[in-house]
Amino acid sequence: MRRISYAQAICEAHRQLLETDRRVFLIGQGLWSPWYAGTSLKDLDKEFSRDRVLDTPISENAVTGAAIGASMCGMRPIVFHPRMDFMLLAMDPIINQAANWSYLFRGQVSVPVVIRAAINRGGEQGAQHSQALHAFFMHVPGLKVVMPSTPYDAKGLLVAAVRDENPVIYIDDRWLYDLEGEVPEEMYEVPLGQGVLRRTGQEVTVVAWSYAAYLAEAACNQLAQQGIEVELIDLRSLKPWDEELVANSVRKTGRLVIVDGGWRTCGAAAEIAAEMSEVVFHWLKAPIVRVTLPDLPAPSSRTLEQAYYLTAQKIVQAVERVLYDADRFATTETESAVCESGEIVPDAQRGVGSGLLRGDEQRRLDRSKAA
* Nearest by Cα to 76 from 166, 142, 13: 166
Tell me the C-alpha distance between 306 and 168, whole Å. Answer: 32
Which pLDDT belongs to residue 67? 97
Residue range 251-272: average pLDDT? 97
141-161 pLDDT, tens digit each: 999 999 999 999 999 999 999
Q: How confident is the model at residue 343 (pLDDT cuts 50, 70, 90)?
A: very low
- Check: CB of residue 117 under 8 Å from CB of residue 78: no
Tell me the C-alpha distance between 53 and 46, whole Å. Answer: 9
Q: Name the pTM for this structure.
A: 0.87
Strand ranges (E), 211-325: 230-234, 237-239, 256-263, 289-293
- Domains of the chain, CATH where assigned: 3-182 (3.40.50.970), 196-370 (3.40.50.920)
Is the pLDDT assigned to residue 93 strictly greater than 60? yes
Tell me the C-alpha distance between 59 and 164, whole Å. Answer: 26
Is the pLDDT assigned to residue 347 strictly greater than 50? no
- What percentage of the chain exceeds 90 in pLDDT? 79
| Residues contacting 245, CB < 8 A, separation 6+ | 194, 195, 197, 233
Q: How confident is the model at residue 328 (pLDDT cuts 50, 70, 90)?
A: low
Which pLDDT belongs to residue 126? 85
6-43 pLDDT, tens digit each: 999 999 999 999 999 999 999 999 898 777 888 999 99
Q: In this predicted model, which residue has the larger pLDDT, 302 or 219?
A: 219
Average pLDDT, the chain: 88
- Which of 64-68, 94-98, 106-110, 178-182 is least confident? 106-110
Which pLDDT belongs to residue 71? 97
- Which of 56-65, 180-189, 290-299, 323-332 is least confident? 323-332
Residue range 199-205: average pLDDT? 97
> Is the omega angle on the peptide bond into residue 93 within 30 degrees of 0, that is, cis?
no
Residue 193 DSSP SS3: coil
Is the pLDDT assigned to residue 332 strictly greater than 70? no
Tell me the C-alpha distance between 141 and 121, whole Å. Answer: 27
- Which of 114-123, 131-140, 265-274, 354-363 is least confident? 354-363
- Which of 108-112, 177-181, 313-317, 352-356 is least confident? 352-356
Strand pairing category for 53-55 and 204-208: unpaired
Tell me the C-alpha distance between 221 and 217, whole Å. Answer: 6
Which pLDDT belongs to residue 345? 36
Residue range 175-198: average pLDDT? 97
